[in-house]
Structure 1
Amino acid sequence: MKEADVEKGLLSCVHCGFCLDACPTYRETGDEADSPRGRLVLMRNVLEGKLPMVGEEATQPGGVGYHLDRCLGCRGCETACPSAVPYGHLLEHFRDLQEHTVSRSTGERVLREGLLMLLTDPKKMKLALKAGRLTGGKIPAFASKFVGLPADTQLPLPDDLEKASAALPALIRAKGEKRGKVALLTGCVMSVLYSPVHRATANLLAANGLDVHVPQNQSCCGALHGHQGKLEGAKELAKKMVAAFENTDYDAIILNSAGCGSFLKDYGHLLKDDSQWADRAAAFAAKIKDVTEYLVEIGPREMTRWITLKITYHDACHLKHGQKIGEAPRTLLKSIPGIEYVECRDADQCCGSAGVYNYLQPALAAEFQKKKVENLLATGAELILTGNPGCLAWIEQGLPDGAQAPKIQHPVELLARAYGD
């Protein structure tokens, strides 16, 4: 962001406080500096030269870096804000500034860079998960201690890694009368841990008359880079993604990962100051659609299978707050014959996963996970639905064991069943 845009964004906050109850960290700590309003004040003080971004002062409670690191980036404040403060863009800008100026400890650097390297490279991630089987998914104690993680930190190991990471065919044909053609983005984490979700997405779209193309030249979208203050890396990945989809005639480019979808839709902003890429990025972003959003837009075909099940839904932050999509998944789920839908208390409050937040701020993340799981269990639902890989893995880790405990799935898995999959 240019300095004028940063200043304009910061000054748009009128300090009304509507964001406070929407902010998980403020609700947890009660600290004004852990609220969006408080963080905006800290950012403004940095811009005006009143507070340092580096040094011991910045890393202690009350310091800019300390409270930026504790922000989930859930963007719940944006939904609550009557002044349309671009908090997410400001957070990314100041985190980028932070990463260019702050000297972190060796352990923290290893953790941050290691997570970014593994989670944005499917091949490396798959190798790491295979190695993780040797320890039952637990990170060795010496490694946890070195990078500052709790001793019981677990990797999200799937029961069947080969099934979880199975590749999709390049084309899944529409069923019945063809209504159009779309591309499906498979992403990084999703392609390793949740390939069955991709399969269900493709089958769901095909059942609704769409040819589903799965391009083989996909790359990381840059979302994790952007959220961690690596904007130059995010921009390079964005350009690569845009170039890969130019000169194609898909009706839409479909995502089933809330965090990736939100970031891809924001490519126009990310590259707006690059004259060679601004228009191209905006044109690409205009075609990005969440799978539930697109199905509601084109009108879903009638579901044919009766499913007797009590369900509830957790709003993935970057679907509800980043993309402003809350009703589409609910509308589709409630349309399944036989379904009993129960709304969850604070459904749009972050579960604590937030990209890699549960590794970078494990204590706070555990509190958010605990509250989320309590609210989900209180619904009495047999199945929990949510549309983001981080939420799926983190909430599942917090659920109780036992046959009576609810299961958790992506909405497309249940919807595909309703179409006979």
Structure 2
Amino acid sequence: GVEYGKLMEATRAQVKQHAKRPLIERTIRSIGYNTLLASPRKLRLLGYALKFYRKSGIRTIARGSGLLKLLPGQAELADKYLPQPSKNFFVAKNQIYPARGLRKAKVVMLAGCVMTLTHAKTLQASVRVLNRNGIEVHLPKQQGCCGALNAHSGEVESAIKMAKKNIDSFLSINPDAIVSASAGCGAAMKGYDGLLAEDAEYSSRASQVAELTKDIHELLIEYGFETPKNILNVTVTYQDPCHLMNVQRITNAPRTILKSIPGLKFVELSEPGICCGSAGTYSLTEREMSAQLGKRKATNVIATGANIVTTGNPGCAMQLDFALAEVAIENSSKRTTSVRYVVDLLDEAYGLE
């Protein structure tokens, strides 16, 4: 079929080269893509600033005074969809988490960028689940953002720099696999071979990383995972992230894991092939269409009667969370569905033993 994602990335890269953007837009893009996403430390500083903005009352003042309407760019829109930061951020600092029992494999885990700030508990759960199933996990300090958001937005040069940084960091560990708990990040790293195909120094190693990269659900199925013994009395549905279903072609693994949990009632979601509307920065640049898709997905989730909707991607998780809240407000009803990752539920089931 047509590789639409690659065509869009190539087109956006051409637009960036030839189209003259307004100065404020160029400045915001440069800070976001080339400064913040390029540095885990600087991104964490932004995370702390956002925490302060939320808790100090500044956000309330900014909203009430109309200040956000006066700021350049999409400040008001960004504020509305500002994600809830994790209580404690997830930091890769050369930790080694040993396997429980006989070691099946040694893996490097991508911490990433957005997920370290918004879903730190899921990354911690991922480490525990892997350890529980005989996987030794390494978190090299020199890793960084996978480059997906940059590549999607036409910022190819910075995406290549990020890819090279991760390639050097990951291969220095000589892992059996490279694992990602984020569908978008996993898809990006599996595409490093294409991103660096013309680079004489890195093309071979990029192909090696692409071959070694596994989504966490994929890895658990390949190496085998222990079926939990304790019961979770919940009704659960699953939302397929586009980068997992359409790019990595992984649909059965997350469902197999969910269905293995005793007591868990699994209900399929209608229209599984419809995007939730997150799609990286699309949720900000095309907010109206993104909101329509989010509402459609949330309505389908509610129709299942599930207590929990699971997914495997931070953008999807945040989009679902917001869309479910919006639909509840529109319908003047109480929200009854929470958003979790598949690995969160597996970790919870293990933790009850």
Tell me which interval the TM-score lies in, with the shorter structure as reference length: 0.7 to 0.9
Provide the C-alpha distance between the structure 2 equivalents of 1:168 and 1:420, rounded to a whole number of angstroms.
23
Provide the C-alpha distance between the structure 1 equivalents of 2:154 and 2:61, rounded to a whole number of angstroms.
28
Provide the C-alpha distance between the structure 2 equivalents of 1:137 and 1:218, rounded to a whole number of angstroms.
36
Q: How does 1:297-308 map to 2 (within 5 A)?
A: 297-308=222-233
The structural deviation recorded for 1:274 is: 1.3
**Based on CA coordinates, which of the two structures has the bigger radius of gyration?**
1
The structural deviation recorded for 1:132 is: 2.7
Instruction: Give 2:73's aligned amino acid.
Output: V
Provide the C-alpha distance between the structure 1 equivalents of 2:316 and 2:349, rounded to a whole number of angstroms.
23
Provide the C-alpha distance between the structure 2 equivalents of 1:137 and 1:355, rounded to a whole number of angstroms.
27
- Among 5, 10, 15, the alignment partner of 1:98 is 15
Q: How many residues align?
A: 335
Instruction: Give 1:125's aligned amino acid.
Output: L
Q: How does 1:43-82 map to 2 (within 5 A)?
A: none
Shift >6 Å, 4+ stretches: none
Provide the C-alpha distance between the structure 2 equivalents of 1:279 and 1:208, rounded to a whole number of angstroms.
31
Assess, with a 3 A threshold, how the Cα gap between structure 1 residues 89 and 334 changes in structure 2: closer, same or farther.
same
Assess, with a 3 A threshold, how the Cα gap between structure 1 residues 120 and 381 changes in structure 2: closer, same or farther.
farther
- Is the 1:185–1:214 Cα contact (8 Å) retained in structure 2? yes
Does structure 1 residue 147 correspond to structure 2 residue 64? no
- Is the 2:236–2:309 Cα contact (8 Å) retained in structure 1? yes
Assess, with a 3 A threshold, how the Cα gap between structure 1 residues 377 and 114 changes in structure 2: closer, same or farther.
farther
Q: How big is each residue's C-alpha offset from its partner over 1:140-176, in whole Å with a ceiling of 9 and x where there is no partner?
A: 5444553146567231123xx433x144671222122
Q: How does 1:215-226 map to 2 (within 5 A)?
A: 215-226=140-151
The structural deviation recorded for 1:345 is: 0.9
- Is the 2:130–2:137 Cα contact (8 Å) retained in structure 1? yes
TM-score normalised by length of structure 2: 0.88
Provide the C-alpha distance between the structure 2 equivalents of 1:200 and 1:324, rounded to a whole number of angstroms.
24
Instruction: Give 1:99's aligned amino acid.
Output: K
Does structure 1 residue 87 correspond to structure 2 residue 12? no
Aligned to 2:348: 417
Assess, with a 3 A threshold, how the Cα gap between structure 1 residues 383 and 295 changes in structure 2: closer, same or farther.
same
The structural deviation recorded for 1:299 is: 1.7
Aligned to 1:195: 120
Q: How does 1:228-307 map to 2 (within 5 A)?
A: 228-307=153-232
Instruction: Give 2:47's aligned amino acid.
Output: K
- Among 253, 264, 288, the alignment partner of 1:328 is 253
Aligned to 1:34: none
Assess, with a 3 A threshold, how the Cα gap between structure 1 residues 227 and 166 changes in structure 2: closer, same or farther.
closer
Assess, with a 3 A threshold, how the Cα gap between structure 1 residues 397 and 118 changes in structure 2: closer, same or farther.
farther
- Is the 2:235–2:307 Cα contact (8 Å) retained in structure 1? yes
Q: How does 1:112-191 map to 2 (within 5 A)?
A: 112-116=29-33, 117-119=35-37, 121=39, 122-133=43-54, 134-136=57-59, 141-144=66-69, 146-148=72-74, 153-158=80-85, 161-163=86-88, 165-167=89-91, 170-191=95-116
Provide the C-alpha distance between the structure 2 equivalents of 1:109 and 1:139, rounded to a whole number of angstroms.
24
Structure 1 vs Structure 2: percent identity of aligned residues? 36
Q: How big is each residue's C-alpha offset from its partner over 1:28-70, in whole Å with a ceiling of 9 and x where there is no partner?
A: xxxxxxxxxxxxxxxxxxxxxxxxxxxxxxxxxxxxxxxxxxx
Provide the C-alpha distance between the structure 2 equivalents of 1:138 and 1:323, rounded to a whole number of angstroms.
44
Q: How big is each residue's C-alpha offset from its partner over 1:159-208, in whole Å with a ceiling of 9 and x where there is no partner?
A: xx433x14467122212222222111100111111110011001111111
Q: How does 1:365-380 map to 2 (within 5 A)?
A: 365-380=290-305
Provide the C-alpha distance between the structure 1 equivalents of 2:250 and 2:144, rounded to a whole number of angstroms.
25
The structural deviation recorded for 1:368 is: 1.0
The structural deviation recorded for 1:404 is: 5.0
TM-score normalised by length of structure 1: 0.74
Provide the C-alpha distance between the structure 2 equivalents of 1:319 and 1:409, rounded to a whole number of angstroms.
16
For structure 2, the residue ranges without an aligned partner over 5 or more in a row are: none
Q: How big is each residue's C-alpha offset from its partner over 1:104-130, in whole Å with a ceiling of 9 and x where there is no partner?
A: 234544554454354554224313412
The structural deviation recorded for 1:318 is: 0.8
